[in-house]
Structure 1
Amino acid sequence: MIEKIVGQMKNSIDSLHRVELLESKLFDRKSENENLKKEIDKLHTELNAEKVMNRETLIKEKYANKEALNELEQYTRINNVVFHGLQDMDKTETPKNTMKLVADVVKKHTGI
């Protein structure tokens, strides 16, 4: 009977030891999860800050590019001459015909 009681006590002690080990592992996992949650929150905050900075940078670059494009377009038009009041030509006109038309108009109006 004593052997039976000792065996039961031994089993109980083994069970308690296993429960303590499991509780210890569970506590460790909870601590690890809390640390990971804090790290995730920190990374989310950093990511949102980076998104805001990137958005602001892109907006600034967009406006800078618009200004640069406008300046380039203005520069390319510097040698253009615009004639108002001429009849529209069809799209099949050749550059030679266009040049002749321009030369005729300039000669007619300026005498050059």
Structure 2
Amino acid sequence: MSHPTPDPIALADDIASQLGRLASQLAQLPPAQATRVIARVLDPDNGVFGRITQLVITGSRFAENQAERGTLPAQVWLALGRAANELNDIALDLDEHHVTLRHLANQPALTAGKPSAPASPVFGRRR
């Protein structure tokens, strides 16, 4: 027996809702568990961020095809292409930190000791 094909609009709405719930829960989690969730979300192979990036890339390819046919303004394709490129650049920036996050996520809870110094916020981006 085959599985019914889900309505893609309902699926997108459900995913958005679940991401909202995940964000709300993340804000309430203890640091060790929040780190595990963030590491999972940013997993370059199976994480949410990579899958969303792939979705935007797929949308950009669709928009390119439609723009070439004249059924979609070229500006939409260009905007989706820029978004896909930006998300991919961000994913590459985050990828270098994924090993650290995964390592921290797999460590047992830190024992009471000297806490590490907090990091200064960084507002610039490297290219």
TM-score, L = length of structure 2: 0.26
Higher-Rg member (1/2): 1
Higher helix share: 1
Instruction: Compute the TM-score of the two structures, normalised by the length of structure 1.
Output: 0.29
Whose relative contact order is higher, 1 or 2, with alpha carbons under 8 Å and at least 6 apart? 2
